[in-house]
Amino acid sequence: MLNLASLQRELSREPFDWAFVDKLFEPSDAAALTDTFPRDHFKLVAGRSYEKGYEYLSRSLVHMGADAVSYPDELSPVWRELAGDLLSTSYRDALGSLMGQDLNTLVMEVNVIRYGPGAYLGPHLDLAQKVVTHVLYFNETWDRRDGGCLCVLRSKQEDDVHTEVLPLVGNSVALVRSDHSWHTVSRVAEGCSKSRLSLNVIFHSPGSISTMWPPGENAPLIRYEGP
């Protein structure tokens, strides 16, 4: 399902190492993925750390280091197929080639994310254990005025925007973590009639522990019934 040829492009070096990758899916697959975007087993992720505020919903697609899909019975066939592609060595090799990183020794985690009205992710650097992150989007249409765009920043200042990416299905952004890889997700407008739909593929350094799903956590999981 994933068009791995779309990953064969040049890495951007400014303001840090990152890449915009589009045309990841054929139109029919893109439509099916958008129409059946998961609604099950989400938890609310909200709070404020030393450098960012955040609020969104997260659902595991592949737990950290797992070789199988999370809650497969709740997924549509196209989403099970996409998860299988993300678990493949061909995807890992293609993304690693683009990013100039050897991903073979790293530990992968995949989460499906919903940003409803009012949700956001403040300017931040990813944790040092997150070596490479690939964010895929799944909205059929999106109005830039509704926020919800990933902004590649030149600095930690929210308005110091280098590039803004709409969360349209087939679009994606891949980031190499560094001490200046600042980025943010602008707040989704309160009056927005839909959720911003995305998926995060994160390659962690060996021995890392998931911060999204820490061991022993018993967070309540919900079925999302909103827009």
Measure the CA angle with vertex 60, ends 59 and 66; round to 5°: 180
What is the rounded average pLDDT for all residues in the chain? Answer: 94
| Position 117 in a domain | yes
Q: What percent of the chain lies above the pLDDT cut of 90?
A: 86
Measure the CA angle with vertex 79, ends 77 and 84; round to 5°: 95
pTM of the model: 0.95
Give pLDDT, residue 195. Answer: 93
Residue 52's pLDDT band (cuts 50, 70, 90): low
Give pLDDT, residue 176. Answer: 97
| Position 219 in a domain | no
Among 72, 65, 67, 79, smallest CA distance to 109 is for 65
| Position 17 in a domain | yes
Both structure tokens of 202 = 């994160």
| Position 130 in a domain | yes
Residue 48's pLDDT band (cuts 50, 70, 90): low
69 pLDDT more than 60: yes
| Position 220 in a domain | no
- Alpha carbon distance 73, 11 (integer Å): 37
Note the pLDDT tens digit of each residue in 126-164.
Answer: 999 999 999 999 999 999 999 999 999 999 999 999 999
| Position 213 in a domain | no
Q: Are 46 and 54 in contact (CB under 8 A)?
A: yes
What's the whole-number mean pLDDT along residues 94-101? Answer: 96
CATH number at residue 171: 2.60.120.620
Residue 50's pLDDT band (cuts 50, 70, 90): very low
Number of separate domains in the chain: 1
The residue segments making up the domain with residue 52 are 4-204
Give pLDDT, residue 49. Answer: 54
120 pLDDT more than 90: no
Note the pLDDT tens digit of each residue in 1-17.
Answer: 999 999 999 999 999 99
| Position 212 in a domain | no
| Position 223 in a domain | no
54 pLDDT more than 90: no
